[in-house]
Amino acid sequence: MSHVGQISIPATYMRGGTSKGVFFTLSNLPEAARVPGEVRDKLLMRVIGSPDPYEKQIDGMGGATSSTSKAVILSKSESPDHDVDYLFGQVSIDKPFVDWSGNCGNLSAAVGPYAIANGLVDPTKIPQNGVAEVRIWQVNIGKTIVSQVPIVDGQVQETGDFELDGVTFPAAEIPVAFMDPADGEGAIFPTGNLVDDLDVPGVGVLKATLINAGIPTVFVNAQDIGYTGCELQEAINSDANALAMFETIRAHAAVRMGLIKHVDEAASRQHTPKVAFVAPPASYTASSGKAVSAENIDLVVRALSMGKLHHAMMGTAAVAIGAAAAIQGTLVNLAAGGEEREAVTFGHPSGSLRVGAKASLIDGRWQIDQAVMSRSARVLMEGCVRIPADSF
């Protein structure tokens, strides 16, 4: 019996914010995988180790969570106003597909450092010491991200004293600005309402804020679904009934937001929308054992990604939180006290996070100019990934 060998593909394994992913330069991929389609998806799934019915991704680079089952493809930008084109793929753990419907805000922080280190940014834009501004075109949603990457002796600075809840060790701070973060070309509020009545079978009618900012997200009140907003992962992820309820909410919200036509389509669109629940500020103990005081936060938020409660907060969902908090009358804004604001600090399972956003009402439609938050990023390993030659 004959067996095929393995092929090597240059890649970098990076942490960005509270996520990890495998980064590729487009030109380094096998030629057939340089264009969207089945070949590319199969290649990335084999790299990550999906689909895996055991949900462990032992035979790949994935870490068996939504935060670590990710792939990024970068190339020099075709736009004169941008430095790099950034394409993000959320790889399903147990099913054979890659979701290209949204961005990863956390890994966005790693795009600038990777682009600089791999020659995708004009060298004249990189100071010997200081900050390099990298303008990123986010291909999935057609939006601009501006990253401020610290440079020391002409190289990306990765170490530092910036601490990010959900990340064990400190690193260099990378401010990331998401410009005009309404997802795609649609309105921030696809239904035209700040709050909708969402009829969810088996749950009832829920008040919900459906927003397209950073990533399509549905927010509900924690109290309305029997929670406090201070829950940690084990309280949700070990409860099959709870996970089924959240998936039902997500599916019906997706239909109301115009993302799918029928709830049955939600199973093949796991990455978006996100579903989150909010509550007024409360004190609790984070997953690390750190005490989070109600006095230091404006509200608490818990969000699910790929069917499970996230260990911290997705970067794109943080953008949605900041945008919704900036608009009076949304459930997020009301949970934070109902005041007009341009920044919000929210509690999540690993601690807290501050995100800034400014909202404007223009010709009867809400607009967010930009949302800004600080993250960090670090190269974990670089070299080549190896996959069987017949994987794709």
Chain centroid offset of residue 53 CA: 24
C-alpha–C-alpha distance, residues 191 and 28, integer Å: 42
- Give the residues across from 278 on adjacent strands: 221, 301
Nearest to 273 by CA among 330, 333, 350, 208: 208
Token pair 């190269």 in the structure block, residue: 379
Candidate list 230, 257, 314, 373, residue with the active-site label:
314
Q: Is 27 left (phi over 0), alpha (psi -120 to 50) or beta?
A: alpha
Q: Is 314 a catalytic residue?
A: yes
C-alpha–C-alpha distance, residues 275 and 304, integer Å: 6
Candidate list 14, 104, 257, 313, residue with the active-site label:
104
Q: Is 381 a catalytic residue?
A: no
Residue 150 and residue 156 in contact, taking contact as beta carbons nearer than 8 Å? yes
Query: What radius of gyration do the chain's Cα atoms show?
Result: 20
Residue 115 and residue 84 in contact, taking contact as beta carbons nearer than 8 Å? yes
C-alpha–C-alpha distance, residues 137 and 333, integer Å: 29
C-alpha–C-alpha distance, residues 306 and 285, integer Å: 25
Chain centroid offset of residue 170 CA: 20
Nearest to 314 by CA among 388, 257, 373: 373
Which residues belong to the active site? 104, 314
